[in-house]
Structure 1
Amino acid sequence: MNPDLDLGIDRVIRAPRKVVWNAWTDPAGLAQWWIPAPAVCRVDRLEVRPGGAFITRMSEDGVTFAPHSDMCFLVVDEFERIVFTNAVDSGWRPATPDPISMTAEITLHDHPDGTDYRIVVRHGDPAARDRHAALGFADGWGTVADQLIRFVEAAR
């Protein structure tokens, strides 16, 4: 991780890696935790493979859904790593996402208490990193990581 360009979050999840992996790769599971509550997530496409689509929508009222993300997966190493970006959309077209372009890497490793869960979000320059931090990276991605933890620990 490059501290000038990247932001990160680390958690220990008291659940096996396979359970955490399934929460990432099952559309119904992902919809339960991917967007900070009380907003609601709808997963339109989740093709967890290199080049696969990652498209979600969000709703504040649970009725009207607006676009949330249109990304693609770059790397998928089963039970170990998922890398995706919003710099390329689900149709493999260059994108100019608002508010920032980023590539996220999720890694899962065995831990004596379950799973060592790490998020690294990479940015193209220090200004983009700082903008993402100022927009609430720690709160937003941290909330989502905590929701994932509650979801998988309840499913055990």
Structure 2
Amino acid sequence: MTSCSLDRRIALPPGEVWELWTTPAGLATWWWPQLPDTSYEIEAGVGGRYRFESAAAGIGATGEFTRVDRPHALDFSWIWLGGAGPAAPDTVRVRFSPDGDGTRIALTHELAADTDPADLRQGWSDVLDRLAG
């Protein structure tokens, strides 16, 4: 199985970073803010679903939370919308650790299909860089 892993330090405490990941208003500040028509739906609980999508750009993702441990860990399935990826869901794991007065994020995205993760790595790098400010 192919995966990509990234790590970022965010200059906010874990509770605030958690809110940025688990609320529509929080996501809108850093996940595709350059696409103003992006919609964000999120139910951050085990079995809860999320969906974010930009009709104008023709991209989006949806999935289900499989682990929610506030403010330490999120695990969720990942399915690209619009036929942009494989039918089987990927798996994403995000860990939030205190790092001084900030938070260290460790993210791993495991791809269901054995494909080159370069574009995926670039996409995650872009959104995490925006989150890091």
Q: Partners of 1:57 and 1:124 in 2: how far apart?
A: 21
Match of 2:62 in 1: 70
Among candidates 54, 74, 90, match of residue 102 of structure 1: 90
SS in 2 for 1:143: helix
Q: Partners of 2:95 and 2:29 in 1: how far apart?
A: 20
Among candidates 102, 107, 110, match of residue 119 of structure 1: 107
Instruction: Give TM-score, length-normalised by structure 2.
Output: 0.84
1:80-138 deviations in whole A, cap 9, x for unaligned?
Answer: 00111125x9xxxxx9x63244111110001124111111001235x23x2x32xx122
Among candidates 123, 128, 138, match of residue 121 of structure 2: 138
Which one has the largest radius of gyration? 1
Match of 1:11 in 2: 8
In proportion to residue count, which structure has more strand?
Answer: 2
Match of 1:56 in 2: 52
Which segments of 5 or more consecutive residues in structure 2 lack a partner in the other structure?
none
The residue identity in structure 2 corresponding to 1:143 is D
Tell me how many residue pairs correspond in the alignment.
130
Q: Partners of 2:129 and 2:55 in 1: how far apart?
A: 20
Cα pair 1:13 1:113 within 8 Å, conserved: no
Identity %: 26
Which segments of 5 or more consecutive residues in structure 1 lack a partner in the other structure?
90-94, 151-156
SS in 2 for 1:119: strand
Cα pair 1:79 1:108 within 8 Å, conserved: yes
Greater than 3 Å deviation, 4+ residue runs: none
SS in 1 for 2:29: helix
